Amino acid sequence: MGYKCKLCPSKAVIYMRQHRLALCSGCYVQWFAKQTQRSISEMRMLRRDERVLVAVSGGKDSLSLWYVLSELGYDAEGLYIDLGISDLGYSERSKTYAMHLADKLMRPLHIVSVSKSVGKAIPELVRRSDRSPCSLCGLIKRYIMNRFAIEGGFDVLATGHNLDDEAATLLSNVLHWQVGYLARQSPILMERDGFVRRIKPFYRFTEKETALYALLNGIAYIEDECPYSVDATTIFLKGILNQLEERMPGTKLQFYNNFLAHARELFEREQAPKVQLRQCSICSMPTAECVCAFCRAIERVGGTFVGLNVVRYEPKQCGASSQSTKAAMTAEGDDNGEQCRLA
Considering the complex, state which of residue 75 and residue 231 has its C-beta at the smaller distance from another protein: 231
146 binds another protein (CB under 8 A): no
User: Using the 8-state DSSP alphabet, how is residue 21 labeled?
Assistant: E
Is 280 a binding residue for Zn ion by CB under 5 A? The answer is yes
φ/ψ of 319, rounded to 5, equals: 110, -150
Instruction: Report whether 310 contacts 110 (CB < 8 A).
Output: yes
Stretch that binds Zn ion, among 8-16, 50-58, 191-199, 232-240 (CB under 5 A): 8-16
> Is there binding between residue 339 and another protein (CB under 8 A)?
yes
- Considering the complex, state which of residue 221 and residue 267 has its C-beta at the smaller distance from another protein: 221
Query: Do residues 6 and 23 lie in contact, with contact meaning Cβ atoms separated by under 8 Å?
Result: yes
Q: Which does 2 bind (CB under 5 to 8 A by kind): Zn ion, another protein, none?
A: another protein
Give the footprint of another protein on residues 245-304 (CB under 8 A).
245-246
52 is an interface residue for another protein by CB under 8 A: no
Q: Which does 180 bind (CB under 5 to 8 A by kind): Zn ion, another protein, none?
A: none
Helix, strand, or coil (residue 54):
strand
The site partner of 295 among another protein, Zn ion, none (C-beta below 5 to 8 Å per kind) is Zn ion
Count residues near Zn ion (CB under 5 A). 11
Contact call for residue 178 and another protein (CB under 8 A)? no
The strand ranges marked E within the chain are 14-16, 21-23, 51-55, 75-82, 109-113, 156-158, 188-189, 197-199, 278-279, 286-287, 310-313
Question: Is residue 3 near another protein by the rule CB under 8 A?
Answer: yes
Residue 328 CB, shortest distance to another protein, in Å, is: 20
Contact set for another protein, span 56-75 (CB under 8 A): 59-61
- Measure the CA–CA gap between 305 and 323, rounded to whole angstroms: 37
Neighbours of 228 (CB within 10 A): 18
- As a residue count, the chain comes to 343
User: What is the smallest separation between the CB atom of 186 and Zn ion, expressed in angstroms?
Assistant: 25
Contacts 24+ apart (CB under 8 A), 188-195: 188/43, 188/44, 188/45, 191/155, 193/277, 193/286, 194/150, 194/277, 194/285, 194/286, 195/146, 195/286
AA identity, residue 255: F
Q: Which does 22 bind (CB under 5 to 8 A by kind): another protein, Zn ion, none?
A: another protein
Q: Does 292 bind Zn ion (CB under 5 A)?
A: yes
13 lies in the site for another protein, by CB under 8 A:
yes
Q: Which does residue 216 touch among another protein, Zn ion, none (CB within 5 to 8 A, set by kind)?
A: another protein
For 250, the 3-state DSSP assignment is: coil
Chain residues that interact with another protein, rule: CB under 8 A: 1-3, 11-15, 22, 25, 59-61, 134, 137, 161, 164-165, 169, 206-208, 210-212, 215-216, 223, 225-226, 229, 231-232, 234-235, 238-239, 242-243, 245-246, 339-340, 342-343
